[in-house]
Chain A
Amino acid sequence: MSFEAVIGLEVHAQLLTRSKLFCGCATAFGASPNVHTCEVCLGMPGALPVLNREAVTLAVRAALALDCTVHERSQWARKNYFYPDLPKGYQISQFDRPLATHGHLDLEVEGSARTIDILRIHMEEDAGKNVHDDVLAGSRSYVDFNRGGVPLIEIVGAPQIRSGAEAAAYMRELRRTLRFLDVCDGNLEEGSLRCDANVSIRKVGATTLGTRTELKNINSFRFVAAAIDFEIHRQIAVVEAGDAVVQETRLWDAQAKVTRAMRSKEEAHDYRYFPDPDLPDLVLTAAAIHSARATLPELPAAKKERFVDALGLTAYDAALLTEEPELCRFFEAAVAGHKNAKGIANWILNELLREARGQPLAALKLTPESLAELVRLIDDGTISGKIAKDLFAELVTAGGAPAALVKERGLAQLVDTAGIEATVDAVLAANAGSVAAYRAGKTNILGFLVGQVMKASGGKANPKIVNEVLRRRLG
């Protein structure tokens, strides 16, 4: 029997605001417990929520970038349930009138194009964080409400994903898009991007959906594919053994590499959604939505295409440069200073990434402007590639202006043929054995002699002229 998987992803993305969705408490990650809390986000009686304008702006930007219809009127709803991390006994969310609907995300999976529909995007507040610490709490737990009330968007994808690999590609593309939009920092480890997956299987060709399980706790890209593929195989084994898949929430156990049913018994959901009486509708004018659309930044997929078509980069390099916004901005700023995009891309992808050793580029002393200047000095023949590499390493750690350093230290390339001839003659005189070998037919020894001349010139001789002079003298 042949099965296919049906997977739908629900992604929560934390919006990059300074303050929470309905109060002025800070959203900063990593503070000590409960210092970013107030009457509103602790759910104290009488406190009233006031919506954060920037959160709306960011949510609208994400929705438009994902080609959704943004609704001029959306509604706040209370999602009612009891859990210790929810102080009000309800979460403020959106239900039957969400901010946006009917979008899609285009992605590439193993070389072929795929489009996954986005059913809806709604805004909501985050819950607090349950902490279990055996030493401090013993047989109890405690709640930290710093995260409670932080603005999120939930992006609900259509159940059109068929494998763990596709799910991982979807997550990566979504993360890349949100990061280029400055909507979300995309940090899975800190929980600013979270993924729940609804997974079911059915016989190939069947049109009805099988019983689904919900996977939670998938907090790394490596786990997305592994957790989903495990769950698909588990469900197939259950069905092939003649049993039925049980509808339940399962957690990915990264150590054991299995999914497990949650120990706490979940009751059937009945959230009794109703419109929040404290919050009138969110109303956006058509003009505001139009202007948000007009000011959307260029998305990574479009950048990649432009880097290939207009700047002549390889598809591979263009893909690498559009993976992270920071790297992409560095590249574009450098290209603005000197038009050799391919040369700059090579320096960034080969030298800069190696020197950065995983540090953020902002921590390096090298600026895009000085990289542009360095590449210009190579392109106009002022310095050799060897000098450029030495200079580059210094620019990364100490900074400085390449043209000024070249002038100050006399690093400009020697292009004076007479001077190079004198150096070549001296090197040939000192390497009589190699010269004889070359003349006897071991022509590959030329490289060694070029190296000796370059060394004698302190790396400053123009290699093209060195080659010419050597061939002439030896020929």
Chain B
Amino acid sequence: MTTPKPPVQAEVLRIAALARLVLSDAEAEAMTPELAEILAHVAKLEEVDVTGVEATAHAVGFATPLRDDVSRPGLDLERALANAPERIGDGFGVPKILE
């Protein structure tokens, strides 16, 4: 069994950046041992002997259900846009996108 190397603060900041979270230095510092504890906890799973057990990503034993290819009306436009941070025409307004 391998024990994961405890994360360093730089990794915490990188993961936070990927999740678009802005952490203060104090928060990042506090979160580093917390993340280490979480990883160590999950690592306990590696103690289970899984020899001969097929890997799965789901706890349910069934295949994904399928539906027929039938189209139905979508949401009313006003309702669809009701939660938009900003409405531009009939679209969801967002910061200008550069390509």
Contact = CB atoms under 8 A, between A and B. Distances in A.
Contacts of B88: 136-137, 140-142
Contacts of B62: 280
B15 to A, nearest CB: 9
Contact of B96 (A33, A132, A283): A132
Contact of A279 (B64, B69, B86): B64
B35 to A, nearest CB: 15
A76 B90 CA distance: 31
B89 interface: yes
A143 B63 contact: no
Interface in B29-62: 56-58, 60, 62
B65 to A, nearest CB: 6
Nearest to A270: B18
Contacts of A137: 88-89, 91, 93, 96
Given A51-B64, A264-B98, A34 B70 contact: no
A287 to B, nearest CB: 14
Identify whether the interface residues of B are mostly helix, strand, loop, or mixed. Answer: loop
Nearest to B81: A34
A275 B94 CA distance: 29
Interface string B55-84: 011101011111111111011010011010
B25 interface: no
Contacts of B86: 140
Contacts of B93: 137, 140-142
B80 A42 contact: yes
Contacts of B80: 34, 37-38, 42
A19 B70 contact: yes
A25 B77 contact: no
Interface in A159-218: none
A280 B69 contact: no
B64 A142 contact: no
B71 A143 contact: no
B92 A34 contact: yes
Contacts of B95: 84, 140-141
Interface residues on A, range: 35 or more
A144 B97 CA distance: 13
Contacts of B72: 19, 24-25
A50 B20 CA distance: 29
Contacts of B58: 275, 277, 280-281
A130 B64 contact: no
A35 interface: yes
Interface stretch (A53-61, A302-310, A452-460): A53-61
Given A140-B88, A264-B99, A130 B94 contact: yes
A281 B57 contact: yes
A115 B96 CA distance: 43
Contacts of A50: 65-67
A142 to B, nearest CB: 3
Contact of B18 (A52, A55, A272, A279): A272
B39 to A, nearest CB: 15
A35 B70 contact: no
Interface of A: 17-19, 24-27, 32-39, 42, 44, 50-56, 75-76, 80, 82, 84, 130-133, 136-137, 139-145, 251, 262-264, 270, 272, 275, 277, 279-283
15 contacts: A18-B70, A38-B80, A51-B65, A51-B67, A54-B69, A76-B64, A130-B94, A130-B97, A140-B86, A141-B88, A141-B93, A142-B91, A142-B93, A262-B99, A281-B64
Given A132-B97, A137-B96, 12 more contacts: A34-B77, A34-B80, A44-B83, A51-B67, A84-B92, A137-B93, A141-B96, A142-B91, A142-B92, A143-B91, A280-B60, A282-B64
